[in-house]
Structure formats: structure tokens, C-alpha cells
């Protein structure tokens, strides 16, 4: 991400300014959680994509700062509420908002951040504001839908590959596409370029999520930062498990059912057993292949953007680097 260090810095300066502007707002129970979660860090990938998309058309990246703030506020709103839904105690190694304060405050401060995401756009011209709001609200609804689909999957016996891909597209990928499109709107890119950048981000997001599923079971390095096999232990319906069920013969299906019903004391047997079936059915290579396909699709869309090759290559390198760190 070094090639974009200046853009990350630009965003963080803007974010600091925003945080300063809310520092004395009341009631503090509403604004402290907002400041807290915005201060927890993270890659700032979504705001960075907005700035990159503006920069790619040789426009001042600062033009996209409010769009960047909008998507970062939205992302953090969704983290606060998702952490309630998942009853998660930790976020980036710090207490989640509903743990540090309480669930009511987490609901309400999240609501407020969602409104503030829309409000962040209102310094743009009316025409730009309208275009930005349209793609942003469409995306926000899809993110809610994706989150609900993910919750539904937990209770469903079987999930189709199609629905799984739809879920990760909505829950993760469209916000990356939206961030890029918003930056392109700020740069006055035409509709075609906007769509190509949106699709680039969307397919990148899908590839990203598929690799995440793969890495959960097969990461070699501690860099990944999560427990290897965590998804398997939690019976999470990842692409690997969904595909394995779809391809399994009756014996493999029976064995998968048995392994899934194993309790926590047999975690090694469970992880190794499930991975053994993954290997038998070659679902890992299917997963990596599909991630590759979406990466290629992403790159094709980027290639079609009417912008300088050098900046497009930078973005391509950045995308591949992001994916590489996941494989």
C-alpha cells in the first residue's frame, strides 16, 4: 500500500478534522462511541478506494474526501451493528461498542453514523450529491440484505453456491465497488468509467472473500491473524463447505454431517476430517480458481477505464498485492 501512502495520509487528516468537529458534541454517549470506532484504525480500504478512483482521472484526490468519509462512516456504522448481531466482544483487539458501552448506545450511535454518512455528502453540488446518494443508498440496502442473508445461512441446512456468492457480493463486495464509483463521480468520470470501476471493486471484493474462506482453512503463515480452521470449528458455511456438500457422494456427506456434529473437544479431528474431504473433492482448487476468475474479471473492467496506463497499473498492482496477502 506504499504507493498510496500519500492518499491514506490525506484521508487520515480529513478524518482527524471530522473527529475534531464532533469532539465537543453532546450527548457524549452518542459521540464518544463514534469517535472510538473511527479511532480503532483498520486498513481504511474503502475511503482509500474513493480517493484512488478520483486520482486515476488525474483529478485532485481531495475532491473525493467527503465521499471517502461517507463510506468510512457507513463501514463503521455497519461494524457497530454487526458486532451486536454477532455478539462479538472484540473488534481490532479492542472492546466492541456494545461491550464498552451497552447495546442501546451501540444501536443509537450506529444509527447516527448512518445518517452522518449521508450528511457527509452534502457539500457537493446538487447534481453530484444526487448521483453519489443514489449509488450509496442502493449499496447500503444491499449491505443490509447481505448481512441478513448471512444470518439466515447460519440456520439453513444447505445453501446454494449461487446464494452464497450473492451474499458475499452484497455483504462485502458492493461497498468496495461503491467507494470506487463515488470517487469516479467526484472526478466527473463518465457513466461507463464509473460502472467499470464499480465492477472492478465488486469482483475484487468477491475474490477477496473467496480467498478469505480458503485461508481460514489453509493459511500457512501467522500473518493471517486468525485461528486456522476457525470457520470449520464454527460450522460456518464458507464457499468450501457449501461446495463440498454440493459435490459430496453419500458417504462423504455422511462423514461431513458427523464431523459437523462433533463437539468442541475433538477440534483437531474435526478440522483435519473436514479438510480431508475438502481435498478429496478438490474444493480448495475450485475456490482458488473462482477467486482467480473474479480477479481476472476485475482487471478487465479496470483495463476498460479511460484513464492513464500508469495510474491503472498502480491500482492493478495494489489490488493484486491485497489479494496476495490473502493467499
Residues lying near a second copy in the complex (CB under 8 A) are found at 26-27, 29-30, 81, 84-85, 104-105, 107-112, 114-116, 118-119, 122, 126-127, 129-130, 133-134, 137-138, 140-141, 144-145, 147-149, 151-152
- Least spacing, CB of residue 211 vs a second copy, in Å: 25
- Comparing CB distances to a second copy, the nearer of 119 and 252 is 119
In whole angstroms, what is the distance from residue 226 CA to residue 223 CA? 8
- Pairing verdict, β 94-95 and 90-91: antiparallel
**H or E stretch at 132:** helix 126-155
- Comparing CB distances to a second copy, the nearer of 103 and 249 is 103
- Least spacing, CB of residue 169 vs a second copy, in Å: 14
- Comparing CB distances to a second copy, the nearer of 106 and 287 is 106
Q: Give 95's strand partners.
A: 90
- Least spacing, CB of residue 40 vs a second copy, in Å: 20
**H or E stretch at 94:** strand 94-95
**H or E stretch at 234:** none
- Nearest alpha carbon to residue 211 among 321, 79, 61, 55: 321
Cα distances from 277 to residues 260, 274, 313, in angstroms, run 12, 5, 39
- Least spacing, CB of residue 325 vs a second copy, in Å: 31
- Least spacing, CB of residue 105 vs a second copy, in Å: 7
In whole angstroms, what is the distance from residue 240 CA to residue 235 CA? 11
- Comparing CB distances to a second copy, the nearer of 104 and 285 is 104
- Comparing CB distances to a second copy, the nearer of 169 and 196 is 169
- Nearest alpha carbon to residue 22 among 10, 13, 31: 31
Amino acid at each position: 500500500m506504499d504507493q498510496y501512502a500519500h492518499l491514506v495520509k490525506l484521508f487520515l487528516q480529513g478524518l482527524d478534522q471530522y473527529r475534531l468537529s464532533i469532539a465537543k458534541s453532546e450527548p457524549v454517549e452518542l459521540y464518544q462511541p463514534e469517535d472510538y470506532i473511527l479511532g480503532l484504525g483498520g486498513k481504511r480500504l474503502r475511503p482509500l478506494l474513493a480517493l484512488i478512483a478520483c486520482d486515476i482521472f488525474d483529478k485532485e484526490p481531495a475532491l473525493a474526501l467527503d465521499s471517502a468519509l461517507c463510506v468510512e462512516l457507513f463501514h463503521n456504522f455497519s461494524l457497530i451493528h454487526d458486532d451486536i448481531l454477532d455478539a462479538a466482544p472484540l473488534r481490532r483487539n479492542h472492546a466492541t461498542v456494545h461491550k464498552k458501552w451497552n447495546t442501546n448506545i451501540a444501536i443509537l450511535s450506529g444509527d447516527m453514523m448512518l445518517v452522518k454518512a449521508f450528511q457527509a455528502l452534502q457539500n457537493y453540488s446538487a447534481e453530484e450529491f444526487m448521483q453519489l446518494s443514489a449509488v450509496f443508498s442502493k449499496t447500503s440496502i444491499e449491505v443490509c440484505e447481505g448481512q441478513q442473508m448471512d444470518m439466515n445461512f447460519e440456520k439453513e441446512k444447505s445453501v446454494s453456491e449461487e446464494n452464497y456468492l450473492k451474499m458475499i457480493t452484497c455483504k462485502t463486495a458492493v461497498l468496495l465497488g461503491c467507494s470506487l464509483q463515488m470517487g469516479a463521480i467526484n472526478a466527473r468520470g463518465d457513466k461507463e468509467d464509473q460502472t467499470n470501476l464499480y465492477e472492478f471493486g465488486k469482483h475484487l471484493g468477491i475474490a477477496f472473500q473467496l480467498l478469505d474462506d480458503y485461508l481460514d482453512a489453509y493459511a500457512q503463515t501467522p500473518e493471517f491473524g486468525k485461528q486456522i480452521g476457525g470457520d470449520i470449528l464454527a460450522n460456518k458455511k464458507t464457499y468450501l463447505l457449501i461446495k463440498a456438500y454440493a459435490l459430496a457422494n453419500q458417504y462423504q456427506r455422511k462423514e461431513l454431517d458427523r464431523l459437523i456434529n462433533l463437539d468442541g473437544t475433538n477440534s483437531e479431528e474435526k478440522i483435519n476430517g473436514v479438510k480431508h474431504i475438502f481435498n478429496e473433492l478438490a474444493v480448495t482448487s475450485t475456490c482458488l480458481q473462482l477467486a482467480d476468475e473474479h480477479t481476472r474479471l476485475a482487471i478487465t473492467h479496470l483495463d476498460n477505464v479511460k484513464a492513464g496506463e500508469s495510474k491503472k497499473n498502480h491500482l492493478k498492482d495494489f489490488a493484486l498485492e491485497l489479494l496476495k496477502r490473502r493467499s
